[in-house]
Structures are given as structure tokens and as C-alpha cells.
Amino acid sequence: MSFALQAIGLSKTFGSGAGGVKALDDFSLDIPRGGVFGVLGPNGAGKSTLFRLALGLIKPTGGEVRLLEQPAGDPRALRRIGSMIETPRFHPYLTARETLVMLSTQSGAASPDIAGWLARVGIADAADRKTKGFSVGMKQRLGLAAALITRPEVVILDEPTSGMDPSGILEIRALIRELADRDGVTVILASHQLDEVQRVCNRVAFLAKGKLTAVEDLSQTEEKLRILATPQAAVLDILGKRGTADGEAVLAAIARPEAPDLIRALATRGVDVVEARWVGGDLERAYLFHTRS
């Protein structure tokens, strides 16, 4: 098996003495190549620190981290990596297009399709505006294009959709899946949006207080349609084995294309459907369980 990222007994302490913060504490994790890997955990758990260490932006206090089986910061690995750590910053007086031209020239990428990437991240309209006027979401979008334009084998994205509008979130979600499924890129993603993680990630690691608490395969935990309707008994009756009560609601283990038929059937039976929404299986519960203090 070949690995995108490996942390081996990795520690990072910021500051020293009583005021020191252990951001990562003897942390070990293997992320194999392929698919989308989520890194989850509360604020301050150590996610961004892990990414910074892997990219060689900061030095560990102890242990080791490897990217594409090379030591952190090794230029041979970094050339094959794209990354966006928190909200990216750009030269304020360059336009979005100029920014990408400059970054791709620096990295020696072969004739990148800059217009194509601007469109793919949804900022084609702002291509010739200076980035100093960009909103947070626009900077995130440009940051993604900057991370991807060199056609990396592994992309590290730290909260790529924070600050994005809902349609941006959907577009980026689709882009990430496409990168993994069509282009064979390994995506490593930190996010607080559990519904996004549920839809986009194949596997996730949970971090709490600088430690790895669990790794889960998400292909096992399927999403369900949570239906709030009266009478509940009628919903359970129609669903049979595929329905389970969840408080006043019912969780339906059905596939997305079956939802319209189910809701029609409920209406036909005189059931009042107040709400029906997809919920991310057990991820919320798993998150709370694995990151509790």
C-alpha cells in the first residue's frame, strides 16, 4: 500500500513551560492514497497543526510526518501536493487570473488551463479583478484553484468551504468527488460540516486534544431520510423493516431516488409530512462520541 500522509508519534508543543500548548501529542495516523479522507475534531484539536507539519511549514517537537513517503517539507513530495490551509492570502494587487499565472509559472506546471480552473471554482466573472477586493468565499475559491492548478496527486484542504455560500459548498463538494473519482487525486480534508463530510469522504479520522481517537470507514454508515410526520405509526407501517423511530421522527433507510415515491405513498395514506431531510447516518453520533472530553 502506498501512503499519502503518515504521522508517526508526532508531537507539537507551542510555547514552553506552564503556558505551553500541546497541539499534537504522540499522534500516529496512516492515510493511504486514493479517495477522500476527512480529518474531524473540535476547534483546537490539532487538525491545522497536522497539515502545517506535513507541509513542512512548522517543525515537530517530536516524532515524524511523511507526505507521499518523503519527509515533511521535501521538495520532491511538495511538487506533487496541492494545499489550502485556512483562508488563503494572495498578493492584493494581482488579479485572480494573474495570481494563477504566477503560481503556475513558479511551480513549472505545463500549460495549465487557467480559464478552465477559474470557471471550475466559480470565479470566472471575477477573473480580472484584483484579489484585494475579494470576499472570504471568493478567496477560498481562488485558493482551491491555486491548490489544484499544478495537477497534484494529493490535495490537503483545511476547511475549504468555510465562508462559502450554499451553492459554492455544493459546487466544491462535487469538485472534490470528481477529483477523487475521475482524476484519482487523494483529497485530505478538514471540515466541521458533518453533512459535507458524510457525502464526500470515504474515511475519516477523529482528533481530540492532539490525539487520534478513531478512524472510521464511512461507506458503512449510510445516510437516511429523517421524516417528521403524523401519525408516526403509519410511517413506520409503510416502511416496514426499513423504518426506525427516532423520537417523534422516523429514520428511513432508503436510497435517494426512492424518496419521491415514499413521500407520495405517505400523502396518499393521509399522513401529514411536516419535514423530510437527509441526515448523515451515524456521523454526528460518532463525532460526539469520539471527540467527547
Q: Name the minimum Å distance from CB 216 to ligand ATP.
A: 18
Nearer to Mg ion, 149 or 190 (CB): 190
- 289 near ligand ATP (CB under 6 A): no
Q: Name the minimum Å distance from CB 48 to Mg ion.
A: 3
Structure letter (DSSP) for residue 130: B
Q: What are phi and psi of 182, to 5 degrees?
A: -95, -40
- What whole-number distance in Å separates Cα of residue 290 and Cα of residue 292? 6
Nearer to ligand ATP, 46 or 122 (CB): 46
Q: For residues 155 and 45, is the Cβ–Cβ distance under 8 A?
A: no
C-alpha cell at 97: 487570473
Q: Name the minimum Å distance from CB 52 to Mg ion.
A: 9
Nearer to ligand ATP, 114 or 156 (CB): 156
Nearer to Mg ion, 72 or 235 (CB): 72
First to last CA, the chain: 34
Contacts of ligand ATP in 25-54 (CB under 6 A): 41, 43-49
Q: Name the minimum Å distance from CB 11 to ligand ATP.
A: 12
Q: For residues 253 and 278, is the Cβ–Cβ distance under 8 A?
A: no
Nearer to ligand ATP, 46 or 82 (CB): 46
Q: Is 154 exposed, middle or buried (0-12, 13-18, 19+ CB in 10 A)?
A: buried
Partner touching 289 among Mg ion, ligand ATP, none, CB below 5 to 8 Å by kind? none
Helices 96-107 and 136-148 pack at an angle, to 10 degrees, of 30
Which residue in the set 28, 48, 221, 291 belongs to the binding site for Mg ion (CB under 5 A)?
48
Residue owning grid cell 419521491: 260
Nearest to 31 by CA among 168, 257, 238, 215: 215
DSSP β-ladder status, 81-84 and 154-158: parallel
Contacts of ligand ATP in 184-203 (CB under 6 A): none
- 70 near Mg ion (CB under 5 A): no
CB atoms under 10 Å from CB of 133, counted, come to 9
- 14 near ligand ATP (CB under 6 A): yes
Q: Name the minimum Å distance from CB 257 to ligand ATP.
A: 35
Choose the stretch contacting Mg ion; rule: CB under 5 A; options: 44-52, 55-63, 89-97, 273-281: 44-52
- What whole-number distance in Å separates Cα of residue 48 and Cα of residue 23? 9
Nearer to Mg ion, 85 or 123 (CB): 85
Total site size for ligand ATP, rule CB under 6 A: 11
Query: What pairs with residue 227 in β-bridges?
Result: 250, 276
- What whole-number distance in Å separates Cα of residue 109 and Cα of residue 147? 12
Q: Name the minimum Å distance from CB 21 to ligand ATP.
A: 5
Question: 3-state class of 195 per DSSP?
Answer: helix
Write out the residues near ligand ATP by the rule CB under 6 A. Answer: 14, 21, 23, 41, 43-49
Write out the residues near Mg ion by the rule CB under 5 A. Answer: 47-48
